[in-house]
Structure 1
Amino acid sequence: MNPNNIQQLRKELLEQRQFLAHDTTLYSSIVLQIHEHVLIALNAFAHIQTIALYWPIRGEPDIRSVLMDWCGQNPKRRLALPITKKNQPLTFHEWAFDTEMKPGLANIPEPFQTPVIEPDLIFAPCLGWQGFDQRFWRLGYGGGYYDRSFADYALVANPPIFLGISLEEFQLSPVQWQTQPHDIALDGIITEKNSRYSKGFLPHQ
């Protein structure tokens, strides 16, 4: 795909999502449905103790509350947020509701002076997503931060589970977007309608 076309697609998807988010009643209902499918996924992954999430920006579905509730059910559970350094893979640092925050890259809040932790599961926000032949890919903002992180984690013996969070209507056809060799497939995608997993990936572990 022409780079200009992919940037235009990102612009259109972002505008569409922010437009939806302006209707707070409707969007809150959509996000609550996403929460339900997040809980279904967490019940399927009973071994999970540490989850990396994201600080929602620009209309991204906010899953913080459902994960804080999950974390509060077991003292061994921990949450983490990414710290972003330009052109580097993400590092994930412990986070709780009372963690001191600082503005990071693009002024996205990041944990201040908390330890790095290795997540068992990473929830990644998707501007758009694609799924065919039971494989799923994430379209982000173009910075490559999650791609670099996924590529690094793919080399370790027990990589974390990668799940995307998006809206059902932001599923993209191969005509709209063609994945590139550097794109790392997700283990699954969660929307307000469903949770789907890649072929050969067993959610009940």
Structure 2
Amino acid sequence: MNPNNIQQLRKELLEQRQSLAHDTALYNSIVLQIHEHVLIALNALTHIQTIALYWPIRDEPDIRAVLMDWCCQNPKRRLALPITKKNQPLTFHEWAFDTEMKPGLANIPEPFQTPAIEPDLVFAPCLGWQGFDQRFWRLGYGGGYYDRSFADFAFVANPPIFLGIGLEEFELSPIQWQTQPHDIALDGIITEKNSRYSKGFVPHQ
């Protein structure tokens, strides 16, 4: 895809999501449905103890509350947020509701004083997403941070599960967006409609 075209696509998706979020009641309902499917996924992934999530920006679905509730149910469970360094893979640092934060590289709050931890599961926000041939990909903002992180984790003994969080109406056809060789497939995608997993992935682990 022409770089200009993909930037235009990102711009249009951001505008569409902003417009959707302006209807507060509707958008809150959509986010609560996403919460339900997040919990369904976690009930299947019973071995998960450590989850990396994201600090929502630009009207991304906010899953912090549902994951804090999940974390509080077991003292062994932990949450983490990403710390961003320019052109580097993300590192994930422990986070709780009372963790001291400071703005990071993209002016997104980061837990700068807590230790880095290795997550069992990473939830990645999707500006757009694609499901094709039982595989799923995310379209982000173009920085490549999650792709670098996904690729980096491929070399560890027990790589985390990668699940995208997206909106159903932001599914992209191969005509709208063609994935590139550097794009790393997700293990699945969660929207307000349901959770779907890539071919060969078994959520009951």
Task: Give the TM-score taking structure 2 as reference length.
Answer: 0.99
> Offset at 1:112?
2.4
> Offset at 1:155?
1.7
Tell me the distance in 2 between the aligned counterparts of 1:178 and 1:64.
Answer: 31
Runs of 4+ in 1 over 6 A off after TM superposition: none
> Offset at 1:77?
0.2
| Deviations, residues 33-62 of structure 1 (Å, cap 9, x unaligned) | 000000000001000000000000000000
SS at match of 2:26: helix
> Offset at 1:158?
0.9
> Offset at 1:105?
1.3
Tell me the distance in 1 between the aligned counterparts of 2:175 and 2:155.
Answer: 31
Tell me the distance in 2 between the aligned counterparts of 1:121 and 1:57.
Answer: 20
The RMSD of aligned alpha carbons is: 0.5
Tell me the distance in 2 between the aligned counterparts of 1:202 and 1:126.
Answer: 22
> Offset at 1:156?
1.5
Deviates more, 1:194-203 or 1:16-25: 16-25
SS at match of 2:14: helix
> Offset at 1:22?
1.2
SS at match of 1:107: coil
Tell me the distance in 2 between the aligned counterparts of 1:189 and 1:105.
Answer: 27
SS at match of 1:155: coil
> Offset at 1:165?
0.2
| Deviations, residues 99-147 of structure 1 (Å, cap 9, x unaligned) | 0000111210001210000000000000000001110000000000000
| Deviations, residues 48-98 of structure 1 (Å, cap 9, x unaligned) | 000000000000000000000000000000000000011000000000000
Tell me the distance in 2 between the aligned counterparts of 1:134 and 1:187.
Answer: 10
Aligned length: 205
Residues 51 and 119 in structure 1, CA contact (< 8 A), matched pair in contact too: yes
| Deviations, residues 130-174 of structure 1 (Å, cap 9, x unaligned) | 001110000000000000000000121210000000000000000
Please name the residue that 1:45 is paired with.
45
Deviates more, 1:136-145 or 1:15-24: 15-24
Residues 80 and 119 in structure 1, CA contact (< 8 A), matched pair in contact too: yes
SS at match of 1:182: coil
Tell me the distance in 2 between the aligned counterparts of 1:157 and 1:199.
Answer: 21
SS at match of 1:106: coil
Residues 83 and 112 in structure 2, CA contact (< 8 A), matched pair in contact too: no
Structure 1 portions without partners, runs of 5+: none
Tell me the distance in 2 between the aligned counterparts of 1:6 and 1:131.
Answer: 18
Please name the residue that 2:54 is paired with.
54
Residues 99 and 112 in structure 1, CA contact (< 8 A), matched pair in contact too: no
Residues 120 and 160 in structure 2, CA contact (< 8 A), matched pair in contact too: yes
Tell me the distance in 1 between the aligned counterparts of 2:92 and 2:17.
Answer: 26
Structure 2 portions without partners, runs of 5+: none
Residues 51 and 123 in structure 1, CA contact (< 8 A), matched pair in contact too: yes
Q: Among the aligned pairs, what percent are the same residue?
A: 92
